[in-house]
Amino acid sequence: MTRRAWVAFLLAVVIVGGGGWFGLSAAGVFDRVQPAPVASPPRSTPPQSTTPVPQPSVRTQSSTPVQSRTSVVTSSPSQAVVVRRYVFPVGGCRADASQSHHDYPASDIFAHVGCLFVAPVDGRVDEVTRVDSWDSKTNRGADRGGLSVSVVGADGVRYYGSHLSAIQPGISPGVQVRAGQSLGRTGKTGSAQGTPPHLHFGISWPTGPNTWWIRRGAVAPQQFLNSWHHGGQLSPVALVAASHRAYGAEHGCRSYC
Site residues (CB under 5 A) for Zn ion?
108, 200
In the bound state with Zn ion, the residue whose beta carbon lies nearer, of 97 and 128, is: 97
In the bound state with Zn ion, the residue whose beta carbon lies nearer, of 104 and 247, is: 104
In the bound state with Zn ion, the residue whose beta carbon lies nearer, of 84 and 163, is: 163
Alpha-carbon distance 126 to 181, whole Å?
A: 15
Q: Residue 179 in contact with residue 121, Cβ under 8 Å? A: yes
Phi, psi of 124 (to 5 degrees): -130, 135
Taking the complex as a whole, how short is the minimal distance between the CB of residue 137 and Zn ion, in angstroms? 20
Taking the complex as a whole, how short is the minimal distance between the CB of residue 200 and Zn ion, in angstroms? 4
In the bound state with Zn ion, the residue whose beta carbon lies nearer, of 84 and 203, is: 203
Measured from the Cβ of residue 182, the count of other Cβ atoms closer than 10 Å reads 18
Taking the complex as a whole, how short is the minimal distance between the CB of residue 48 and Zn ion, in angstroms? 44
Q: Helix crossing, 2-33 with 35-44: angle to 10°?
A: 0
Taking the complex as a whole, how short is the minimal distance between the CB of residue 224 and Zn ion, in angstroms? 16
Closest residue to Zn ion, based on beta-carbon distance = 200
Alpha-carbon distance 162 to 99, whole Å?
A: 17
Q: At 160, which helix (H) or strand (E)? A: strand 158-164
